[in-house]
Amino acid sequence: MKKLLIAALALLLFACSKTRNSETPFVTPEPFSSPEIDARVEAIMANMTLDEKIAQIQGIRPTELLEDGNLSIEKCREKIPNGIGHMCQFSSSFTMEPEELRDFVREVQHYLMTETRLKIPAVFHEEAITGFSSKGATTFPQQIGVACSWNPEMVNRNALSTRNNMKAAGANYALSPMMDVIRTAHWPRIEESYGEDPYLTSTMGVAFANGLQGDDFKTGIAVTTKHFAGYGAKTTNEKDFFEDYLMPHEALIKAANVKSVMPSYAAYNGVADVANPELLNGILRGKLGFDGLAVSDYHAIDHVFGKYGQASSLKEAAVLALKAGNDLEFPLPKTYEFLPEALKEGLITMDVIDTAVKRSLIMKVKLGLLDDPVFGLDGDLDFDPPANRELAYEAACQSIVLLKNNGILPLKVDELKDIALLGPNSDNVFCLLGDYTYQSMITYFWGQTFDPTSPKIVSIIEGLRNKLGDKVNIHNERGCDWTEPLGTTIDPNSYGDGELGTAKKNILSRVAQPNLEKALEMASKSDVIIAAMGENTYLCGENREREGIRLPGEQELFVEKLIETGKPVVLVITGGRQQLVDKFEDRCAAIIQAWFPGEEAGNALADILIGKVNPTAKLCVSYPMDESEAELNYQHGYQEVKPQYPFGYGLSYTTYAYSDFNMPSKAGVTDLYFSISCTVENTGSVDGAEIVQLYVSPVDSASTMDAIQLKGFKRVDLKAGEKKTIEFEVSPQQLMQYLGDRWIVEAGKYEFKIGASCLDLPLSGIIELRGEDLLLENRNVFFSRVSIAD
């Protein structure tokens, strides 16, 4: 009791304290509803039939409403006679031009507002992690690459451009971003994540949400944080779950006012997340204080019955999910359609149904759908204007990580006569686009092809030709396939049907046959070899498992043959995960991890290769050196599994020096902030940007805190010879741990370190936090504040 009283007094003093700009580190989300909205929604619900209520907590794919490729009013009357809550993935399932897409939205909304009794429009939702998933829309680098920029301001700008595109088409809701903390390259959806660190993930996610949603739902796009929670992780440790895996979701909910959460396909404590009352009602709505809308992942409620066997029927699965706190079913009315039967049978109460319906309608009010809504912009639409392409180029440049360089880069173009650009990823666009881009979705999930000019996707060969012109002879040959043995003649029709087989057919029929002998001949006659290797659309992404994390197929053997020519090899890897380079890391002249770099991939890569752009990206994941499936987590100190390259690592064409570390020797546990500062200097001859990273480690060997944790960072632009001072204002509450069902900030000593990666930390100091341990019921502090001075 004494400690709780001390904690309450400390919090009061903490909240009343003032910094130099009167800001506190506390974040408080706005309430989902208000008395006025509640009254409005309750008045609507009082006039609703049961079928009309159920319709508002269901989604449907727009393809269900088509006949001969056009919207069918008869289909609408059959499928959605009472209205509908959401139109699911409405743009990524079509090959419509922007204006056609907008007109389709208007036609559906016109039907709902003229032919259904309540005249309630639908929410149109789509994916958005790499931009608006629609034909012709700007395609940014995949999220794992963007995280390597460590640039939340850039993320915010990109998301704002996505918002503008979505609003122009009539969309108002996004099933993005993915906020899962992922610590293994073996999980095929790692590419959608911001990497392995909860602080970096939270920072980037909040920036994304602020750009896409903004501070007004009516002018923004409602953001969904997914997948709640611990999806893609192997942990069963409650401390790790609360401290690390919940943090990004919690940060979006509390710091970015996100009001939509998607439970994952996984299970928490053995119970499917979408039907888990402990997770959704206990943790999400209870401990985290979430008051918004929970929406199912696609077919996740089906899985409660089918995959998990935790329900005896689809009807029981619906009951379990709704009772647990999942409000909407996506993407089809498959289980919630049984709710009227369940109600008659006494399996569920009207109050439970009404709670979900009310939340669905509150969101529609907040989005402005019940207030003379306007669906899309009139006139011609351009989803990829020059300003957006510049954003995509900048994002690609800042996402590409230079892992090794023996001095070969930047290429000395004036001294080169012949460049051999070889490999399966050298001459096509299928290796440049991440999962949940429009191009990937239309290829993999819908079995169609896409137009690589809408938007224009710049391949690596195109980028080099754009930048080099006729200054150097560029010799191009694929040399090997992505997965087939060297020397194989590829038959695109030999891969069967289904999503994977169809995707392979569509892609392989649009690329050249590889010619090994020709590639090796080109290599031997060139001054330098650029080997473009790695993955493509069907080798990484949801439902795309492959064996191991080495370069696929016989790509490693192909690289070995290139090295044997004696010519310097610059290895460029594209794909959605870290792919092993241990077999030839010491023999490649340079190694670049480019991820899936999006529409401006070729131009960005070319500019980095020739030195027009100085690489600045740092790894958002630890880079493994072997096939171990154990999670690789820098926070645990790399005790058992060593990385090839550590978290936060990345090379540049210049050098940086750290100095002038300054931090007080002591601070109070209840202090608002304490300051840590240092000076960073560009000691090379090339302008660049250094990502300054702040970490903390416990001094007490008995501490239960992780060995090292990121607590702040800043991307700092520095001209050659320039130096700047970076100041971090750190809240003691950033040091809280989840122990015994509550949060604790332990008094004691902590070592703070500053440097260029989690293993390259030249500056450090120890601070003692004095006072009683601080006990807290909730986490309301997430980030340090950072400023830069010349």
CA distances from 219 to 23, 39, 112, 177, 261 (A): 27, 23, 22, 18, 20
Q: State pLDDT tens for residues 669-698.
A: 999 999 999 999 999 999 999 999 999 999
**Structure confidence at residue 342 (pLDDT):** 98
Buried b (16+ CB within 10 A) or exposed e, 643-680: bbbbbbbbbbbbebebeebebeeebbbbbbbbebbbbb
| The pairing of beta strand 623-624 with beta strand 643-645 | antiparallel
Peptide bond into 331 cis (omega under 30): yes
| The pairing of beta strand 86-87 with beta strand 224-228 | unpaired
Per-residue pLDDT at 482 exceeds 70: yes
Q: DSSP character for 189? A: T
Q: Give the pLDDT mean for 637-643.
A: 87
Per-residue pLDDT at 743 exceeds 80: yes
DSSP string, 17-65: ---TTS--S---PPPS--HHHHHHHHHHHTT--HHHHHHTTBEE-GGGG
**Structure confidence at residue 27 (pLDDT):** 86
CB 294 within 8 A of CB 261: yes
Per-residue pLDDT at 639 exceeds 50: yes
439/448 Cα distance (integer angstroms): 9
CA distances from 318 to 9, 260, 339 (A): 45, 19, 7
User: Which residue in 577, 546, 571, 575 sits closest to 559, CA to CA?
Assistant: 571
What pTM, to 2 d.p., does this model score?
A: 0.96
Q: How confident is the model at residue 236 (pLDDT cuts 50, 70, 90)?
A: confident
Q: State pLDDT tens for residues 164-212.
A: 999 999 999 999 999 999 999 999 999 999 999 999 999 999 999 999 9
247/737 Cα distance (integer angstroms): 12
Q: How confident is the model at residue 640 (pLDDT cuts 50, 70, 90)?
A: confident
Q: State pLDDT tens for residues 512-568.
A: 999 999 999 999 999 999 999 999 999 999 999 999 999 999 999 999 999 999 999
**Structure confidence at residue 23 (pLDDT):** 66
Q: What share of the chain is helix, strand, coil (3-state, %, to 5)?
A: 35, 20, 45
Q: Give the pLDDT mean for 652-666.
A: 98
16/336 Cα distance (integer angstroms): 48
Name beta bridge partners: 222.
Answer: 173
Q: State pLDDT tens for residues 349-395.
A: 999 999 999 999 999 999 999 999 999 999 999 999 999 999 999 99
Per-residue pLDDT at 17 exceeds 80: no
**Structure confidence at residue 9 (pLDDT):** 42
123/445 Cα distance (integer angstroms): 22
Q: Give the pLDDT mean for 608-634.
A: 96
Question: What is the amino acid identity at position 153?
Answer: E
758/555 Cα distance (integer angstroms): 31
Q: State pLDDT tens for residues 385-418.
A: 999 999 999 999 999 999 999 999 999 999 999 9
What is the CB neighbour count within 10 angstroms for residue 765? Answer: 16
